[in-house]
Structure 1
Amino acid sequence: MIAEKVPTPPAPPVAAPTRLIESADIFRGQNEILIRHAGAIYRMKITRQGKLILNK
């Protein structure tokens, strides 16, 4: 009796690591920046408590 070879499924693709960006690199000493995304302008602010707020 000859055993049939069962094909092994291909390995799942390896996801690229998520990028980590320091907020200091984005804000560069400012408390507010503007971000353009898909044609819309967003405002990101650092609050007095050090939190981030994103508004459209």
Structure 2
Amino acid sequence: MSAILCSSCGKELEDDNINFCISCGGLFCSDEFDNNSELCQECVKNGCTSLF
């Protein structure tokens, strides 16, 4: 089974540390994710919003 990696920093994600960005659809570690907006840091920086 291959490891799941953070879409931004490449860190290996653990089951309790996988965050799904509702804008770009990437999987991110907690360091690269904003829980309040449910967006990755890159989407927050670019002013993105949810696709849904």
Query: TM-score, normalising length from structure 2?
Result: 0.24
Higher strand share: 1
Which structure is richer in relative contact order (CA contacts within 8 A, separation 6 or more)? 2
Query: TM-score, normalising length from structure 1?
Result: 0.23
Could you say which structure has the larger radius of gyration?
1
Higher helix share: 2
